[in-house]
Amino acid sequence: MRAVQVVTPTGPADIEVREVDPPTPGPHDVLVEVHSVGVAFPDLLLSRGEYQFKPEPPFTLGVDFAGVVLDPGSPESSGFTVGQRVAGVNLNGGAAELVANPAIFTFALPDTLSYDAGAALPMNYLTALFALEERGGLREGETVLVHGAAGGVGTATLQVAKGLGARTIAVVSTEEKAAFARAAGADDVVVGPDFRDAVKELTGGTGVDVVLDVVGGDAFTDSLRCLAEQGRVLVVGFAAGQGIPEVKVNRLLLGNTDVRGVGWGAYAMTRPGYMQRQWHRLAPMIESGVVKPPIGATYDLADFGRALVDMDERRTLGKSVVRVR
């Protein structure tokens, strides 16, 4: 079968589509015929050997995927049946024609969603739900400011926040990204790096309750200054590439504010059943239509490396998807 592999961890330009042996499912795995694969930031880091998880090359990329169950293993334990449409997530391995994935990291895909949408859901939307609900303690009626709001995690956060009853303010860098964020469901959009005054105006001077930050860099300090009393900044990543920002903790004291780390993968993968509970939490949001992953660019399997380069150069909108079939 074909698989997208890292042979040498020298970056996305050097990944290869290779013929490899099909996987052998373990006793708790589901064998899936993959139709679509999501392009994820961990894939980029894995291609460079920069991720905290360091598999021995050669290894297959692909964090989240969607397809059809070929072998459910034990239907009594997995709950799946042959021919069922599913989405799944793991540290790697999904960018192949077949994947053997743990049943606890595999989810029933509603018929209303395409395989592309299914591949766009697991990592970004479960991260957003974990960030807002588990780490952010988001309450109905609060206001959420989302940085990088036209990207995959950003658009997922806009939609999940709406599903939880919050108001959303998107911060983006261009008018094109502003239109994309609005289409994804943002209530308000601010364009440009000088977002602080606009946010104050939009909130009547009160500030926002939660900031989700996937960017870091220079925006971080202004994010703290945008917080309402008892507001929370949720640190998800550092896409700006400007280094790790520092916190002057006296600012937290003066405003009764928090900075909270968000590490969904490490948390969820060590708690059997947690991801399934999260997926059930998303289900009514999917049914209502508030969660509907916006797909940006689509690529052929042979162009997985180019998809990662486009992500690295911040040319992507929403979630990029690679089509296997």
Question: How far from chain centre, in Å, is Cα 265?
Answer: 10
pLDDT score of 241: 54
User: Looking at per-residue confidence, does 252 or 209 come out higher?
Assistant: 209
pTM metric for this prediction: 0.95
| Average of per-residue pLDDT across 135-155 | 97
HSE at residue 196, side-chain half, CA atoms within 13 A, is: 11
Q: Nearest 5°: CA angle at 140, between 134 and 144?
A: 70
* Domain extent listing, the chain: 2-123+285-323, 136-262
Span 194-207, mean pLDDT? 96
pLDDT value at residue 249: 83
Lowest mean pLDDT among 165-174, 186-195, 213-222, 240-249: 240-249
Determine the average pLDDT of the residues in 78-99. Answer: 96
User: β-strands 2-6, 59-60: how paired?
Assistant: antiparallel
Quote the CA–CA distance of 231 and 243 in Å, as a whole number: 24
Comparing C-alpha atoms, which of 259, 257, 258, 220 is closest to residue 238?
A: 220
Return the CATH number of the domain spanning residue range 2-123+285-323. Answer: 3.90.180.10
Contacts of 151 (CB under 8 A, 6+ apart): 214, 239, 316, 317, 318
Is the pLDDT reported for residue 184 higher than 80? yes
Residue 114 confidence (pLDDT) above 80: yes
- Look at residue 76 in the predicted model and tell me its pLDDT: 75
What's the average model confidence in pLDDT over 228-240? 86
Give the pLDDT confidence of 250-279 residue by residue, as tens digits: 889 888 999 999 999 999 999 999 999 999
pLDDT at 217: 74
* pLDDT given for residue 314 in this prediction: 85
Q: Is the pLDDT of residue 188 over 80?
A: yes
Please give the pLDDT value at position 218.
79
- Residue 199 buriedness (CB in 10 A; 0-12 / 13-18 / 19+): buried
Q: Which residue has better confidence, 150 or 215? A: 150
The dihedral built from the CA positions of residue 94, 96, 102 and 104, taken in this order, carries a sign that is positive
Lowest mean pLDDT among 11-25, 94-108, 191-205, 238-252: 238-252
In whole angstroms, give the CA distance from residue 135 to residue 262. 7
Which of 72-76, 228-232, 311-315 has the weakest average pLDDT?
A: 72-76
Q: Could you say which architecture CATH assigns to the domain 136-262?
A: 3-Layer(aba) Sandwich (3.40)
Ranges 123-132, 158-167, 220-229, 236-245: which has the least confidence: 236-245
Q: What is the structure's pLDDT at 77?
A: 78
**In the prediction, which pLDDT does 238 show?**
67
Task: Give residue 266's identity as a one-letter amino acid code.
Answer: A
pLDDT given at position 223: 94
Residues 6+ apart with CB under 8 A from 290: 159, 162, 163, 185
**Quick count: other Cβ atoms within 10 Å of Cβ 137?**
14
What's residue 78's pLDDT? 84
pLDDT at 239 over 70: no
How much is the mean pLDDT over the chain? 94
Q: Summarize pLDDT for 35-68 with one digit per residue, the tens.
A: 999 999 999 999 999 998 999 999 999 999 999 9
* SS3 (DSSP) at 305: helix
242 pLDDT exceeds 60? no
